[in-house]
Chain A
């Protein structure tokens, strides 16, 4: 039983680390900040998620399990907020997404109408 739990735990931890590794590779490889955000979200969703599930198998039904769940929930709720703040900061400092021409116009409009109430469309 102990060994089976260990195997299961390691499968989850290694899978999580694989996602972290791919996310890290993507962070270096992607061409602009916005594309890099997608690679980063790989790390803070399934990367962290799988590692934590693996750790839960290690600790069993103890108080530490509850703490792991609480930390996981915290990451799930704060991650998107941090990502959004990063994207806003980039747009406010004129670092617009690298996309093809039609989309570039849309991205520029987003910035110009940002503070007006009208919006687009």
Chain B
């Protein structure tokens, strides 16, 4: 499967300019928040640093869709609160499991339905961020997951997180209800 390159040199001029300006704006905000000084010398140093970073980012070709996913900001408004809710719920589940010792470690494989590497990375990272499930291997679109207990494994099997990451990335949500690979 060819890797998606929709970045600085893909010929999407508007996208390229937006991303470069967005990167400069984000770096400027980062500088101001960390320093908090409005002295001419400090501001001048800040502008020089930002210019240098933007030039390096462009030369390295990293301010692309993967390295600087600014397009996920708006869809992320609904995804991140849901992810935080999932993290809180499974934290409590896993904390209980640790205290009672009631665990059943298992390995399962799920199919990531996202169309590109960025989407699969977001999905695999979301799995790992949620306690009780850890991505241990990604092979093309198959993610191997280590689950601590049946409850957290079943939560992943339902495919809800997969569908939500598809929504986040703007991919079509799979209609196939079987999310697990090789399940009976």
A residues apposed to B, CB below 8 Å: 19, 22-23, 25-26, 29-32, 34-35, 37-39, 41-42, 45-46, 49, 63, 66-67, 70, 76-77, 79-81, 83-84, 87-88, 91, 97-100, 103, 106-107, 110, 113-114, 117, 119-121
Contact = CB atoms under 8 A, between A and B. Distances in A.
Interface in B120-140: 124-125, 128-137, 139-140
11 contacts: A34-B134, A41-B134, A63-B33, A66-B33, A77-B125, A79-B128, A80-B128, A80-B129, A97-B136, A100-B106, A106-B107
Contacts of B34: 63, 66-67, 70
A94 B132 CA distance: 22
A39 to B, nearest CB: 6
Contact of A42 (B95, B107, B124): B95
A59 to B, nearest CB: 13
B142 interface: yes
A22 B137 contact: no
- How many of chain B's residues touch chain A, expressed as a range? 35 or more
Contacts of B4: none
A85 B138 CA distance: 12
Interface string B126-162: 0011111111110110101010100000000000000
What is the interface of chain A mostly: helix, strand, loop, or mixed?
Answer: helix
Counting chain A CB atoms within 10 Å of each CB, which of B99, B103, B131, B182 scores highest? B131
B88 interface: yes
Contacts, number: 132
Contact of B98 (A39, A76, A114, A117): A39
B105 interface: yes
A106 to B, nearest CB: 5
Contact of A26 (B98, B140, B142, B182): B98
